[in-house]
């Protein structure tokens, strides 16, 4: 290796991608049965626990409410403490909840598990700490990394519903929850504790930036830093525009997802068809997360977010007014794709506030979820009152379209990309100087 010829690059595997893979696994374990496959359990829960579906939906609403209330504080912890312990501890809570649900004999027990321990497990093992650690490992391809990380929010939903729908008549819902708890305890938790590290070493940092390895990779971003406080976050116009676009998207997404099996049943479709639709819903979300991550790296976050809102609104209208598996499937795919908003939100926060302030800002962003957590319950309640899902879903679609238009006023920051190029050049100069 010579200075004149530049450093000889040794191409190897960057550990940051291992971090992404484990974050996917952790989120899939936390969300899979409790969130993604929730609607598949409603029929049997309603029969065995002698409760209405709308009452059972209150458990999901309570879970979202408590999770969002905890998110700002989890964001602060995610900026200060090792992710492996935060996420590992959260998954321990998920295991305990899984076994608790499997032994539930009354509605109040199920609702209590969804309202108290489940939110703790979910917020500690999913989006806030996962995106925070990924934002510390990536400068280049941040959108792609965040898009892949968000796979965990939907990949289990693509895989589990058809399996659960097929085996539940034979083994029952209690056995499914027990097996899930055992798998998380014996497989997922050990991997989280073994693989996760909060930051790259100096050598890993430069290897990622230039192909060799000698210096760290501080993250790009506007402002932020350890001195970032909640007041500074609330002063940013972009922060409020992000809130305005993602809440309606999430409301329509949740209203459809958590009622999808009952919607299918109202059209005379079987439980197996409902499982296939839930799988398609999550597959669409998984595909969209990757696509949105790539679009974020190339075009920024404003236009993709607006496009998702419009697609979500159209999909909601198709589900509301369509009939049969064909039209329902089209609507499901469009609404499911709106789940791709998470890498866009995370990338927008990372650019706006920097990696060191990411956890705090992202936690505050998700704090507003309680505004829409009761949407699935309200959609179910309106259907029970009117006999149709049209009214509820049409109203949500209108709000989502309005949010997409508002997002167009967001001012994109491009400082992050320029800073990245400058840091890459500086690190390459360091390699040449060292060798």
Q: What is the pLDDT of residues 284-298, one digit of tens each?
A: 888 888 899 889 988
Angle at which helices 107-115 and 117-125 cross, to 10°: 30
- The string of pLDDT tens digits covering residues 229-264 is 888 899 999 999 999 999 999 999 989 988 888 898
Spatial CB neighbours of 426, under 8 Å, sequence gap ≥ 6 = none
Show the tokens assigned to 419. Answer: 């800073």
pTM of the model: 0.71
Domains of the chain: 15-200+215-428 (1.20.1250.20)
Res 234: pLDDT: 92
pLDDT tens string, the chain, 435 residues long: the values are 444 444 444 456 889 899 999 999 999 999 889 988 888 899 899 999 999 888 998 888 888 889 888 988 998 899 889 999 999 999 999 999 999 999 999 999 999 999 999 999 999 999 889 989 998 888 778 888 888 887 777 777 778 888 888 899 999 999 999 999 999 999 999 999 999 998 887 666 655 555 443 333 444 433 334 567 888 899 999 999 999 999 999 999 989 988 888 898 888 888 788 888 888 887 888 888 889 988 998 889 999 999 999 999 999 999 999 888 888 999 999 999 998 898 899 889 988 888 778 888 999 998 888 888 788 888 988 988 898 899 999 999 999 999 999 999 998 765 444 344 434 433 333 333 333
Task: Kindly report each contact of residues 107-110 with a partner whose C-beta sits within 8 Å and lies 24 or more positions away, as own/partner.
Answer: 107/49, 107/50, 107/51, 107/55, 107/56, 110/45, 110/49, 110/56, 110/59
State the pLDDT at residue 227: 60
Q: What CA–CA distance (Å, rounded) separates 348 from 297?
A: 11
Q: What angle do CA 76, 78, 79 make, to 5 degrees?
A: 70
End-to-end CA distance of the chain: 7
User: What tokens appear for 28 in the block?
Assistant: 């899939």
The pLDDT score that the predictor gives to residue 84 is 93
pLDDT at 20: 93
What torsion, rounded to 10 degrees, do the Cα atoms 220, 411, 69, 377 define?
-130
């Amino acid at each position: 290796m010579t200075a004149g010829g530049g450093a000889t690059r040794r191409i190897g595997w960057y550990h940051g991608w291992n971090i992404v893979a484990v974050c996917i696994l952790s989120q899939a374990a936390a969300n899979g049965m409790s969130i993604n496959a929730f609607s598949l359990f409603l029929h049997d829960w309603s029969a065995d626990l002698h409760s209405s579906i709308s009452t059972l939906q209150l458990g999901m609403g309570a879970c979202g409410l408590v999770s969002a209330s905890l998110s700002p504080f989890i964001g602060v912890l995610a900026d200060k403490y090792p992710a492996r312990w935060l996420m590992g501890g959260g998954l321990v809570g998920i295991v305990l909840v899984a076994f608790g649900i499997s032994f539930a004999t009354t509605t109040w027990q199920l609702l209590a598990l969804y309202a108290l321990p489940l939110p703790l497990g979910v917020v500690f093992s999913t989006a806030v700490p996962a995106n925070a650690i990924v934002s510390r490992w990536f400068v280049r391809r941040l959108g792609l990394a965040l898009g892949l990380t968000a796979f965990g929010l939907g990949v289990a939903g693509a895989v589990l519903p058809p399996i659960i729908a097929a085996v539940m008549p034979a083994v029952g819902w209690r056995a499914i929850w027990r097996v899930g708890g055992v798998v998380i305890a014996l497989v997922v938790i050990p991997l989280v504790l073994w693989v996760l590290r909060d930051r790259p070493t100096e050598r890993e940092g430069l290897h990622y930036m230039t192909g060799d390895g000698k210096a760290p990779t501080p993250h790009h971003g506007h402002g932020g830093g350890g001195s970032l406080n909640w007041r500074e976050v609330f002063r940013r116009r972009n922060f409020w525009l992000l809130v305005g676009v993602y809440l309606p998207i999430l409301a329509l997404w949740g209203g459809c997802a958590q009622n999808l099996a009952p919607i299918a049943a109202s059209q005379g479709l079987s439980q197996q068809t409902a499982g296939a639709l839930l799988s398609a819903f999550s597959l669409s979300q998984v595909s969209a997360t990757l696509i949105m991550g790539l679009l974020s790296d190339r075009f920024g976050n404003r236009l993709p977010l607006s496009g998702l809102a419009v697609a979500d609104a159209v999909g909601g209208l198709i589900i509301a007014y369509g009939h049969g598996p064909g039209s329902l499937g089209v609507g499901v795919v469009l609404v499911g794709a709106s789940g791709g908003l998470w890498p866009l939100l995370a990338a927008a926060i990372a650019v706006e506030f920097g990696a060191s302030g990411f956890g705090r800002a992202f936690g505050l962003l998700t704090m507003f979820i309680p505004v829409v957590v009761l949407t699935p319950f309200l959609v179910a309640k309106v259907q029970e009152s009117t006999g149709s899902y049209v009214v509820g879903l049409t109203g949500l679609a209108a709000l989502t379209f309005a949010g997409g238009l508002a997002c167009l006023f967001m001012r994109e920051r491009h400082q992050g990309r320029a800073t990245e190029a400058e840091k890459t050049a500086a690190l390459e100069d360091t390699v040449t100087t060292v060798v």
